[in-house]
A and B are shown apart, each in its own frame.
Chain A
Amino acid sequence: KQEVTQIPAALSVPEGENLVLNCSFTDSAIYNLQWFRQDPGKGLTSLLLIQSSQREQTSGRLNASLDKSSGRSTLYIAASQPGDSATYLCAVTRGTGGFKTIFGAGTRLFVKA
């Protein structure tokens, strides 16, 4: 059974700091891994999608890496801004037995101005 864990659960940093959010998963037979952002009371916005054959994806100040063998992914946010404050969710889609996406509990990020 796939389990997804995100560390830390919450993080508070000053503006401008570079930071890393961690995600680990127990079953390496994945189809892809996605990072989402969720603002309070809102839906989810997809940030980055990494296919199982890929090692990393980049979009602007965001970079996500994937290491299937160790069951880990990291989301790197460069030069953080107050507008980055949100909950970041890691989601893993299994690669066998049909598509099913499992989410971690998220990391709540607060960037102080």
Chain B
Amino acid sequence: NAGVMQNPRHLVRRRGQEARLRCSPMKGHSHVYWYRQLPEEGLKFMVYLQKENIIDESGMPKERFSAEFPKEGPSILRIQQVVRGDSAAYFCASSPPGVQTLHFGNGTRLTVT
């Protein structure tokens, strides 16, 4: 049973470009969470999604950031017009329905040059 898969592991973008981060949850998990970790800091909650629904996006910046979890395929975190301050590690976690135990992927490290 594969764990949570995130890709790419490393992503380099120039300022103004778009970044697309993918997350495939564990088999049987229908809940996905995205977190951001700045250097030397803890994880900050961004968004919580179920299939085709955004449940809680209170941690998402109001502009340039969006997330989706379609009926088929991985969850996508999209950052438009990236800026240097977006450089961070972005972690995805999944959990099965009704059970709040998080299983994390290895993260995507975004570097904006």
Contacts and interface: CB of A to CB of B under 8 A. Distances in A.
Contacts of A42: 106-107
A104 B37 CA distance: 11
Contact of A91 (B41, B95, B102, B107): B102
Contacts of A76: none
Contacts of A105: 41-42
B101 A49 contact: yes
A43 B107 contact: yes
Given A32-B100, A89-B42, A91-B102, A101 B33 contact: yes
B106 A98 contact: no
B55 interface: yes
Contact of B100 (A44, A101, A104, A106): A101
A101 B91 contact: no
Contacts, number: 56
Contacts of A104: 42
Nearest to B89: A41
A46 interface: yes
A34 B101 contact: yes
B41 A43 contact: no
Interface of B: 31, 33, 35, 41-45, 48, 55-56, 58, 91, 93, 95, 100-107, 109
Interface of A: 31-32, 34, 36, 41-46, 49, 89, 91, 93, 98-106
